[in-house]
Amino acid sequence: MGMKFARFKRNEELFLGVVEDNKIYKLQTNPDSFEKFLEIALVEAKASVEEKNLEEVELSDVVLLSPIPTPSQIICQGVNYSIHRQETGMDDQKPPFNMIFSKAPSSVCGPNDAIMRPDNVKLLDYEIELGLVIRKPITQDTVITEDNFLDYIAGLVLTNDISARDVQLTQLQWLKGKSYRTFCPVGPYFYLLEQEDVAKIADLKLELRVNGEIRQEASTDQLLYKPIETLNELAQIMDLQAGDLVLTGTPGGVAMQLSADEMNCMTSLVSKFGEKVEVIQRQHTLGNYLKDGDIIEATIASTDGSIDLGKQQNVVKTLQSISV
């Protein structure tokens, strides 16, 4: 079974630790990059856990941070679950192409940080997603298979692709609508994959609640484009570096609900802006968009419990005086 790691702050100092049984065991090494983590901290962690000579820290005594130092890239898959495709007005079958977009690295925040909603954003949405953490560079010559998967993917994290739908859809600005600061909670844990874990990536349960109500619930076996297929496609488009994140898509249950006609209107380059505004106005009547004070809770774990990426809990707040 793989190891779990957490980055945390205690008394304004930053630390890295191994997580076991709801406790953190603090490492002496605190690398500032994912490459150094793999080279130094991982070796120390394995040796120290075996020797039982690490300082024990209670989770309740620390502030958990994103377990991955700010990645250079966050690459995302869109509409990669059938039910999510249906609720956004699309055909529920696997499409002929993979929808790829990105989020700004500065959107990353901690697993318990507040989601700061700019006051110009009225349609704030949630999207729980499994995140893959790149181990080493992926380039044009890279071919990823089941046999070498762990050469390129170090582990897993829980992420939430927070989205400003009124910016994303009205302006056709996916990067802009998904990249406000705090729009990508990551963690609390980084799960380092072992070979026996690879098959379980297709057997992870995703669950997201808002104020205790289940909104999203799915299994990663429902992914339309699987990780290996997506990674090989990305290799032919762009380079990925150690510590980069690949978000694999969100299941059904988001606040946004569009008919096929509405989606065609929103994505058309010839639709008038006023027509798009009319479609957006209907979204305001749906009731599931995030409001100030809402609490979002998200978890991802394997059905046998051997992989557990922890629990996020984020409250929504308003960030004043932000313009588009």
Residue 178 clears pLDDT 70, i.e. is over it? yes
| Structure-token pair, residue 178 | 């998904």
Residue 30 clears pLDDT 80, i.e. is over it? no
Regarding whether 117 and 48 lie in a shared domain, the answer is no
CA distance 157 to 190: 5
Regarding whether 27 and 157 lie in a shared domain, the answer is no
pLDDT at 324: 47
Q: Residue 140 falls within a domain, yes or no?
A: yes
| Structure-token pair, residue 56 | 């024990």
Regarding whether 289 and 163 lie in a shared domain, the answer is yes
The amino acid occupying position 156 is L
Regarding whether 60 and 79 lie in a shared domain, the answer is no
pLDDT at 49: 63
Residue 53 clears pLDDT 80, i.e. is over it? no
Q: How many Å separate Cα 269 from the centre of its chain?
A: 29
Domain that holds residue 10: 4-64
Q: Residue 251 falls within a domain, yes or no?
A: yes
Q: Residue 96 falls within a domain, yes or no?
A: yes
Residue 78 clears pLDDT 60, i.e. is over it? yes
Confidence of residue 48 (pLDDT cuts 50, 70, 90): low
Residue 27 clears pLDDT 90, i.e. is over it? no
Q: Residue 95 falls within a domain, yes or no?
A: yes
CA distance 116 to 294: 12
Of 64, 86, 111, which one is at a domain's C-terminal end? Answer: 64
Question: Sign (positive/negative) of CA torsion 77, 323, 186, 305?
Answer: negative
Q: What are the DSSP calls for 206-243, one per residue?
A: EEEEETTEEEEEEEGGG-SS-HHHHHHHHHTT--B-TT
Q: Residue 69 falls within a domain, yes or no?
A: no
Regarding whether 248 and 180 lie in a shared domain, the answer is yes
**Contact assessment for residue 176 and residue 167, using Cβ atoms and an 8 Å cutoff:** yes
Of 27, 45, 64, which one is at a domain's C-terminal end? Answer: 64
CA distance 23 to 58: 5
Confidence of residue 277 (pLDDT cuts 50, 70, 90): confident
Regarding whether 59 and 78 lie in a shared domain, the answer is no
Q: What are the DSSP calls for 285-317, one per residue?
A: TS--SB-TT-EEEEEEEETTSS-EEEEEEEEEE
Regarding whether 138 and 215 lie in a shared domain, the answer is yes
Regarding whether 167 and 239 lie in a shared domain, the answer is yes
Q: Residue 220 falls within a domain, yes or no?
A: yes
Regarding whether 182 and 122 lie in a shared domain, the answer is yes
pLDDT in tens, 196-218: 999 999 999 999 999 999 999 99
Question: What is the domain-level CATH number for residue 172?
Answer: 3.90.850.10
Residue 274 clears pLDDT 90, i.e. is over it? no
Residue 157 clears pLDDT 80, i.e. is over it? yes
Q: What are the DSSP calls for 109-128, one per residue?
A: E-TTS-EEEETT---EE--E
Q: Where are the beta strands (DSSP E) in the chain?
A: 4-10, 13-20, 23-26, 55-58, 63-64, 74-78, 99-103, 108-109, 115-118, 124-125, 128-134, 153-160, 163-164, 184-185, 190-192, 204-210, 213-219, 245-247, 295-302, 308-319
pLDDT in tens, 91-115: 878 888 899 999 999 999 999 999 9
pTM for the complete prediction? 0.93
* SS3 label, residue 203: helix
Regarding whether 201 and 142 lie in a shared domain, the answer is yes
**Contact assessment for residue 94 and residue 224, using Cβ atoms and an 8 Å cutoff:** yes
Instruction: Compute φ and ψ for 45, nearest 5 degrees.
Output: -60, -45
| Structure-token pair, residue 61 | 């005594």
End-to-end CA distance of the chain: 46
Of 19, 37, 64, which one is at a domain's C-terminal end? Answer: 64
Q: Residue 133 falls within a domain, yes or no?
A: yes
User: Of all helices (H) and strands (E), which one includes residue 282?
Assistant: helix 273-283
Q: Residue 102 falls within a domain, yes or no?
A: yes
Give the closest residue to 6 by CA, choosing from 58, 66, 61: 66
Regarding whether 298 and 226 lie in a shared domain, the answer is yes
Beta-bridge partner residues of 118: 319
The total number of structural domains that make up the chain: 2
Regarding whether 58 and 79 lie in a shared domain, the answer is no
